[in-house]
Amino acid sequence: MPEGFSASADAFTCPCGGGVYRLCCAPLHRGLKRAETAEELMRSRYSAFARAEVGYLLATHPEQGRDDKVRRAELLRSCRQTRWLGLTIREVRAGGSDDLEGTVVFEARYRGGVLKESSLFQRRDSSLAGDWLYIRAVALET
pLDDT at res. 11: 78
pLDDT at 8 over 90: no
CA dihedral 45, 74, 101, 56 (to 10 degrees): -40
Architecture per CATH, domain 4-141, reads as Roll (3.10)
Half-sphere exposure of 106 (CA within 13 A, CB side): 22
142 band by pLDDT with thresholds 50, 70 and 90: low
pLDDT band with cut points at 50, 70 and 90 for residue 1: very low
Per-residue pLDDT, 3? 46
pLDDT digits (tens, 9 = 90+) for 85-113: 999 999 999 999 999 999 999 999 999 99
